[in-house]
Amino acid sequence: MDLGPPPLFSLINLKRKAHFRNSKQVMRIKNCYHLLIWRGKLLFGFNDGKPFPYLMNQRTTFTKKLTTYIFLGEFENKNVFLWDMSDSSDVLGNTGQIGSFNDADRNYHPDLPKGTYFCDLRNLLPVLNSKYANLCATAKGMYEWHKRVNFCQSCGGKLSSEKAGWEKTCIKCNFKQFPRIDPVVIMLIKRGNDILLGRSHGWPEKMYSCLAGFIEPGETIEAAAEREAMEESGIKLKNVRYITSQPWPFPASLMMGCTGEAQNRSLKIDKDELEDAIWVSKEQVFRALNGLDKSIFMARRGAIARYLIEKWVAGLI
Ligand SMILES: [Zn+2]
């Protein structure tokens, strides 16, 4: 069945042009855009309140001082480079929420164009235009990898960035490391007219979403869905079906969205994993999605959980 447009980050409109990564000429490419990131927050401009990644035609004084760049690929016929200016101490605004689930603070640099702000990508999901989403997801995911992976997994030596940021090589033993993603299964668990929704510790109040978990070595997507459902909620799943996937760069997940049929209704919640889990009827989900029921809030727009829930309410999955 045609499910319509894909989840927010899954509209692939960035041409990666991997052959450019090898080239020593990559920095001499003309027709470029430059994107800035500071402590995990991309630089955005706003048009009538709607955010867009602020793509500069020229390297600014900041990027001219920086030496490590990442070539993201071609977007809107221009080659996009990401520059990390996290070391800058001149960025202003509140910093207390950086890295939290809900960082709504906007930070700014006095020498950057007025009206541009460093913003948390996750916080902007409900208002981000899908045409910018995959570029932002790639930039954020690559930033997170560069931030975390700095030492050789083999000998502990320092790594140097190669291939326009897509490879890191140990300066001692030459071991190579590549950007990794973590596969995660996320399940819309159905039983009759209801779905099972859960909430993790520390989530915004009343927010519920689909159950999810990391796929382990040796598992299939289906096996991971069955195991996670049983471990977290005591539900035995059958007929697990893969629906679609979504990059989720917080920091490195690839979400694999599935549906499955619950064989039992009584719950045995693992309180270490989940704060709560409840069965919710299609009518209540519909009301919650449309702001008519304030007792629960669905996963926010842009998350694949929200996508799965909306498709289920529409009778498509
Ligand atoms: Zn090494």
Where in the chain are the domains? 8-148, 149-179, 182-313
Q: How far is the CA of 154 from the centre of ligand 1 (A)?
A: 5
Is the per-residue pLDDT at 60 higher than 90?
A: no
Q: How far is the CA of 178 from the centre of ligand 1 (A)?
A: 14
Contact call for residues 15 and 74 (beta carbons, < 8 A): yes
Fold of 182-313: Nucleoside Triphosphate Pyrophosphohydrolase (3.90.79)
Is the per-residue pLDDT at 250 higher than 90?
A: yes
When mean pLDDT is compared across 67-71, 119-123, 223-227, the lowest value belongs to: 67-71
User: Interhelix angle for 304-313 vs 282-289, to 10°?
Assistant: 120
Is residue 101 very low, low, confident or very high in pLDDT (cuts 50, 70, 90)?
Answer: confident
Is residue 108 very low, low, confident or very high in pLDDT (cuts 50, 70, 90)?
Answer: very high
Q: How far is the CA of 180 from the centre of ligand 1 (A)?
A: 18
Q: How far is the CA of 73 from the centre of ligand 1 (A)?
A: 28
User: What's the distance, Cα to Cα, between the start and end of the chain in Å?
Assistant: 8
Q: How far is the CA of 173 from the centre of ligand 1 (A)?
A: 4
Q: Is the dihedral of CA 227, 232, 238, 242 positive or negative?
A: negative
Query: Which DSSP helix (H) or strand (E) runs through 137?
Result: helix 130-148
Contact call for residues 190 and 317 (beta carbons, < 8 A): no
Q: How far is the CA of 149 from the centre of ligand 1 (A)?
A: 12
Q: Is pTM, for the whole model, over 0.85?
A: yes
